[in-house]
Amino acid sequence: MKSICAVEGVSASGLKERKFGLALIRSSGTAAGVFTSNRVRAAPVEAMVDRMRKGTLDAVVVNSGCANAYTGERGYRDAVEMCGIAAGALDLDPESVGVASTGVIGRYLDLALIRDQCERAAPLLARSVEAEDAAARAIMTTDTFPKHALIRTESFAVGGITKGSGMIAPNMGTMLAFIYTDAEVEAPVLQDILRQATRRSFNRVVVDGDTSTNDVALCTATGAAGKVDHQELARAIEAVCRDLAVQIARDGEGATKLLEVTVRGAADEDAASAVARTIVASPLVKTAVYGEDPNWGRVVAAAGRAGVEFDPYAVSLSVGGTPLVLRGEIVADLAKAKAAMLGNTVSFDLDLAAGEGKATAWGCDLTEKYVEINGKYTT
């Protein structure tokens, strides 16, 4: 099994009909959630912020094609009704069902379609590769491939699926993530673990600098594997989130290359993260990566506007292991540097020589295809 259906107590199903999809994931246990920081929060996000206070879930229903965002009171009622529809199909308490949506902003849900898809998807719930893949594909919008991740330890498993390709920026991105573990863990502990994992993964991905209205990451623990070491669980959940985050970056709208930036030698981890995120968000860096142009000045300039203290003439920078700057001195061999930017992954390493902090962020190149996709998104 790929990921979530490898976790004891989790089953899934999904339908995709043109741009409208619906996924169901059935799993009971303690639960945690992390949501978009955008002030314009979609109705399903508002509904989930309320529901997650009790710290448990029995299922999640997700639709694609309509974000149910900027839809006011009607949108909130529709999100609650969507939970009720799924609950009826699964014979559950409506309050125990989570909800998420992705797609076009400013349009109302087609509840008749959602009811029809729920009724057809519910009997298909299964623990299988095929069922999980159907669920992962059902929530895709401009994604080009479904995204799965799985970590197995000797005592428990953690699996996850996600969608995300565009409208991706730190503080979550248009991304939905559904993570499951068979570990037994209390909801407050799980919330802390998920928040930290998100900070080090999804919040370090930048495709285009836009923070979505609909971002949500949910994690449910079924408890089937019993009590586990919390630190080991935290490492496993972070690893799954990081794997999914990198897949999102690689699948950025119109992207041809994954951009990975590691910053070390910062005052602390937060400072390193701020610099790494600024670099991967830079349109000038992204276009240079697309053109395989080793324009190291763009990387250093982006680092300088991240709001972090460091001595510009103490830094060292390399691309793909090829030195560009060494302790403030330009040492670039442009032919070798350009060769290091070939292929589908470009990795920069920047040492600020200002401390012990380290962080990695991920993004992608910026291409003409991105403009084409988003210039026609609603039409």
Is 295 found in the same domain as 186?
Answer: no
**Domain edge (last residue) among 230, 250, 270:** 250
The enclosing domain of 184 has a CATH number of: 3.60.70.12
Is 308 found in the same domain as 240?
Answer: no
pLDDT of residue 210: 52
Q: Report how many domains make up the chain.
A: 2
pLDDT of residue 172: 45
pLDDT of residue 369: 85
Is 275 found in the same domain as 197?
Answer: no
Q: Which of 1, 11, 56 is nearest to 223 (CA)?
A: 56
Is 233 found in the same domain as 353?
Answer: no
Is 368 found in the same domain as 223?
Answer: no
**Domain edge (last residue) among 231, 250, 269:** 250
Is the Cβ–Cβ distance between 180 and 28 less than 8 Å? no
Distance (Å, rounded) from C-alpha 175 to C-alpha 211? 10
Q: Sign (positive/negative) of CA torsion 47, 65, 139, 276?
A: negative
- pTM (2 decimals)? 0.87
Is 339 found in the same domain as 216?
Answer: no
- What is the residue-wise DSSP string for 334-370? HHHHHHHT-SSEEEEEEE-SS-SEEEEEEEE---HHH
Quick one: pLDDT band at residue 209, thresholds 50, 70, 90?
low
pLDDT at 173 over 50: no
The enclosing domain of 323 has a CATH number of: 3.10.20.340
**Domain hosting residue 365, numbered range:** 258-375
Is 368 found in the same domain as 232?
Answer: no
The pLDDT tens digits of the residues spanning 228-269 come to 999 999 999 999 999 999 998 888 778 899 999 999 999 999
Does 208 or 12 have the greater pLDDT score? 12
The pLDDT tens digits of the residues spanning 185-204 come to 999 999 999 999 999 998 88
Is 296 found in the same domain as 220?
Answer: no
Is 245 found in the same domain as 274?
Answer: no
Can 174 be counted among the known catalytic residues? yes
Is 271 found in the same domain as 236?
Answer: no
Percent pLDDT > 70 in the chain is: 94
Distance (Å, rounded) from C-alpha 315 to C-alpha 272? 13
Is 175 found in the same domain as 58?
Answer: yes
pLDDT of residue 208: 52
**Domain edge (last residue) among 209, 227, 250:** 250
Is 238 found in the same domain as 271?
Answer: no
pLDDT of residue 371: 77
Distance (Å, rounded) from C-alpha 179 to C-alpha 190? 11
- Catalytic residue, candidates 71, 141, 174, 198: 174
The pLDDT tens digits of the residues spanning 24-77 come to 999 999 999 999 878 888 999 999 999 999 999 999 999 999 999 999 999 999
pLDDT of residue 187: 97
